[in-house]
Amino acid sequence: MKTYLNVIFWLIAIVITTLSFVYQRTTGPTYPVRGNVELNKHDISYRLIRSYDGGDDAPVIIEVPCEEIKGSFRYKRYPSYDEWIVASLIRHGDTLIAYIPHQPAAGKVKYLITLYDSDSSVELTEEPVIIRFRGQVPGWAVMPHILLMFLAMVFSARAGIEAIRGGNGIRWMTYAAIITLIMGGLIFGPIMQKYAFGEFWTGWPFGTDLTDNKTAVAFIFWVVATIAVWKNPRHRTWVIVAAAVTLIIYLIPHSLLGSEIDFRKEEYLKNMAESYYGCKLTIAGYSAR
Question: Could you read off the pLDDT of 96-155 as tens digits, one per residue?
Answer: 999 999 999 989 999 999 999 988 999 999 999 999 999 999 999 999 999 999 999 999
Same domain, 54 and 189: no
Of the pLDDT bands very low, low, confident and very high (cuts 50, 70, 90), residue 237 is very high
Q: Comparing 285 with 222, which gets the higher pLDDT?
A: 222
Assigned domain for 48 exists = yes
CA distances in angstroms from 240 to 16, 143, 158, 285, listed in the order given: 15, 28, 10, 51
pTM for this entry: 0.82
Instruction: Give yes or no for a contact between 263 and 212, defined as CB atoms under 8 angstroms apart.
Output: no
User: What is the total count of domains within the chain?
Assistant: 2
Average of pLDDT values for 53-67? 94
**227: in domain:** yes
d(CA 243, CA 154): 10
Would you say residue 221 lies in a domain?
yes
Query: Per-residue confidence at 254, pLDDT binned at 50, 70, 90?
Result: low
**For the chain, the helix, strand and coil percentages under 3-state DSSP, each to the nearest 5:** 45, 20, 30
Question: For residue 93, is pLDDT > 60?
Answer: yes
Mean pLDDT of the chain: 88
Which residues, in sequence order, are CB contacts of 137 under 8 Å at separation 6+?
53, 192, 195, 196
Q: Are residues 156 and 226 both part of a single domain?
A: yes
Distance (Å, whole) CA 113 – CA 184: 38
Of residues 281 and 192, more confidently modeled: 192
* Residue 201 domain flag: yes
CA proximity to 257, closest of 49, 14, 30: 30
Give the model's confidence band at 257: pLDDT under 50 very low, under 70 low, under 90 confident, else very high.
low
pLDDT value for 1: 58
pLDDT value of residue 132: 95
Q: Same structural domain for residues 97 and 185?
A: no
Q: For 190-226, what is each residue's pLDDT tens digit? A: 999 999 888 888 777 777 777 888 899 999 999 999 9
Are both 148 and 241 inside the same structural domain? yes
Calculate mean pLDDT across residues 14-19: 94
Does residue 58 fall inside a structural domain?
Answer: yes
Q: Are residues 106 and 152 in the same domain?
A: no
One domain for residues 39 and 178: no
Q: Are both 118 and 177 inside the same structural domain? A: no
* pLDDT for residue 288: 37
Domain end, chosen from 96, 115, 133, is at 133
Given a cut of 90, whether residue 266 has pLDDT beyond it is no
pLDDT value, residue 24: 80
Tally the C-alpha atoms within 13 A of residue 94's C-alpha that lie toward its C-beta: 4
Residue 33, phi then psi, degrees to nearest 5: -90, 125
Which range marks the domain in which residue 59 is found?
33-133
Measured distance CA(124)–CA(120) in Å, rounded: 13
Please state the rounded mean pLDDT for residues 16-22: 91
Residue 131 CA to residue 129 CA, distance in Å, equals: 7
- 115 with 193, same domain: the answer is no
Q: What percent of the chain has pLDDT over 90?
A: 66
Mean pLDDT over 12-41 rounds to 89
Q: Which percentage of the chain shows pLDDT scores above 70?
A: 89
Residue 21 has a pLDDT of 86
